[in-house]
């Protein structure tokens, strides 16, 4: 038998108190406090150290990826998400990495991740993000399609409905040209056109729009105009001709397109009244913008012809048919093309085409190229009507645009022009000429709340004989 021992048994190890946090909890709590006080980098350092020692802790690795994105460390965040996706590919991880790609400016990879997430598990959150992405890219048709899909999944989502309202506003804003109104806007504009060949035109225009019915995307606009133009006789004497006019226009938007019809009259006093009007269809197909229009106007307005005001035998009106295409090229380029046919009431006609390319550069600069051609069927002394006019130009633009506040654009494009003009001889022969061409422009815009102000000016030259022209537009719009 073993003798009883006088030794006291060793105490059992003490249990961890229930109130004491584990090291993992301390790391997350510390990162939370640092983030709450604005010390994002310190929080990232703490979480990064834990993930390096515990690479299998996916929850804290996800916290780290989100925190890096919040701090603007796009590449670090994307690398963290990619590591997690290699371990476990889920719709949520693809969605969050796709968002981060978009924020970093890599729209191609961001779109691919969002589509992959949607394929794994369709969700209203992903569908709405795709709608936002295409809206930011200007692809309004696909944006509207994804918003409609998301609305079927989450009909009570107020955030989604707000995004759809932003899409409507974006379409309205893109389709609204200077001088056009929507809703119940009021607008006024002053325009000045002048050249050293004797043409001067000054116009004041006041307009008021009315939504029909109230709150819809259709609007009726009533406009009144006063204008004064220089009238030059064949002998070279000048006189002023005043005119008064009014217009009624109806604009209605259907999806990502807008139809606009205008009819009006211009009274030149002793001269006969002129009926004017237009019809235009403007909209988006994918990321491309297409516009087609037909317009009837005073001939002197489209031809800048001072000898056509009241001169016997001169044309009174011109009918312009025009098509425009604007298309983004890659992430930093844009193409613009315009084709035009102008029929003048003296049985003359003009065909024109223009191609312009824009390439965005660093520091708010863009490289601009413009090439164009123009030709008249017949040549006349009443207005500039070359048998052929070709031009090429290359220049720079410095621009900054803001949703609110001051925006501006300054551009200068030197180039060269080749033309075939009447030689001024009795046998109606022509001569080939060339001239240095220079075009410059300045645009200043200011938007604050319901007020929108635009000042646009331009100077151009490019014809034999030192021809120069200037134009300016001051436009004010008030939204109610």
Structural domain span for residue 29: 23-172
Task: Identify whether residues 230 and 337 lie together within a single domain.
Answer: yes
Alpha-carbon Rg for the chain, nearest whole angstrom, is: 33
Cβ neighbours of residue 399 under 8 Å, at least 6 residues apart? 364, 366, 407, 408, 409, 410, 411
pLDDT given for residue 58 in this prediction: 85
Return the pLDDT at 390: 94
pLDDT of residue 423: 65
Q: Tell whether 162 and 197 lie within a shared domain.
A: no
124 in a structural domain? yes
| Count of CB atoms situated within 10 Å of the CB of 86 | 8
CATH number of the domain to which 113 belongs: 1.25.40.10
In a domain, 36, yes or no: yes
Same-domain check for residues 56 and 110: yes
Residue 324, domain member (yes or no) = yes
pLDDT of residue 342: 95
Residues 97 and 218 in one domain: no
- Per DSSP, the three-state class of 263 is strand
Question: Domain boundary at 121, 143, 172, which?
Answer: 172
Instruction: Indicate if 151 and 240 belong to the same structural domain.
Output: no
Residues 201 and 141 placed together within one structural domain of the fold: no
Q: Can you give the pLDDT at residue 29?
A: 81
Other C-beta atoms closer than 10 Å to the C-beta of 18 total 5
Determine, yes or no, domain membership for 232. yes
Given a contact cutoff of 8 angstroms between Cβ atoms, the answer to whether 94 and 86 are in contact is no
- In this structure, the answer to whether residues 158 and 191 fall within a common structural domain is no
Of 151, 172, 193, the one marking the end of a domain is 172
Total domains in the chain come to: 2
- In this structure, the answer to whether residues 235 and 271 fall within a common structural domain is yes
> 0.85 exceeded by the pTM?
no
Same domain, 235 and 148: no
Residues in the chain with pLDDT < 50? 1-3, 5
Q: Is there a single domain that holds both residue 161 and residue 203?
A: no
Do 100 and 204 have their domain in common?
no
User: Are both 349 and 204 inside the same structural domain?
Assistant: yes
């Amino acid at each position: 038998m073993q003798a009883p021992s006088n030794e006291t048994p060793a105490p059992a190890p003490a249990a961890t108190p229930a109130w004491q946090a584990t090291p993992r909890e301390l790391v997350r709590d510390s990162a939370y406090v640092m983030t709450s006080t604005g010390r994002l980098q310190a929080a990232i350092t703490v979480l990064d150290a834990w993930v390096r020692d515990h690479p299998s802790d996916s929850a804290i690795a996800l916290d780290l990826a989100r925190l890096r994105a919040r701090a603007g460390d796009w590449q670090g965040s994307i690398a963290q998400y990619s590591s997690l996706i290699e371990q476990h590919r889920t719709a949520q991880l693809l969605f969050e990495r796709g968002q981060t790609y978009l924020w970093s400016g890599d729209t191609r990879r961001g779109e691919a991740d969002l589509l992959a997430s949607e394929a794994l598990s369709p969700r209203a959150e992903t569908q709405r993000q795709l709608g936002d992405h295409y809206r930011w890219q200007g692809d309004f048709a696909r944006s509207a399609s994804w918003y409609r899909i998301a609305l079927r999944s989450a009909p009570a989502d107020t955030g989604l409905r707000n995004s759809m309202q932003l899409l409507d506003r974006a379409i309205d804003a893109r389709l609204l040209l200077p001088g056009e109104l929507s809703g119940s806007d009021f607008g006024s504009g002053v325009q000045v056109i002048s050249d050293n060949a004797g043409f001067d035109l000054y116009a004041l225009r006041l307009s008021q729009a009315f939504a029909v019915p109230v709150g819809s995307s259709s609007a009726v606009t009533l406009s009144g105009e006063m204008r004064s133009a220089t009238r030059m006789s064949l002998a070279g004497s000048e006189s002023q001709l005043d005119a008064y006019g009014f217009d009624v226009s109806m604009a209605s938007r259907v999806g990502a397109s807008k139809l606009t019809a205008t009819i009006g009259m211009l009274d030149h006093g002793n001269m006969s009244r002129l009926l004017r009007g237009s019809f235009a269809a403007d909209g988006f197909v994918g990321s491309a913008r297409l516009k087609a229009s037909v317009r009837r106007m005073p001939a002197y307005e489209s031809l800048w012809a001072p000898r056509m005001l009241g001169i016997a035998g001169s044309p009174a009106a011109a009918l312009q048919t025009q098509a425009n295409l604007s298309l983004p090229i890659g992430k930093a380029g844009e193409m613009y093309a315009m084709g035009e046919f102008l029929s003048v009431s003296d049985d003359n006609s003009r065909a024109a085409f223009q191609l312009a390319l824009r390439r965005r550069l660093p520091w708010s600069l863009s490289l601009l190229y413009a090439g164009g051609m123009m030709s008249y069927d017949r040549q006349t002394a009443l207005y500039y009507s070359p048998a052929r006019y070709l031009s090429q130009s290359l220049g720079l633009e410095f621009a900054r645009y803001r949703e609110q506040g001051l925006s501006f654009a300054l551009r200068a494009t030197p180039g060269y022009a080749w033309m075939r003009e009447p030689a001024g001889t009795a046998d109606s022969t022509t001569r080939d000429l060339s001239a240095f061409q220079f075009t410059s422009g300045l645009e200043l815009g200011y938007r604050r709340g319901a007020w929108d102000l635009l000042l646009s000016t331009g100077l151009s030259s490019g014809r034999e004989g030192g021809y120069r022209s200037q134009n300016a537009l001051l436009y004010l719009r008030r939204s109610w």
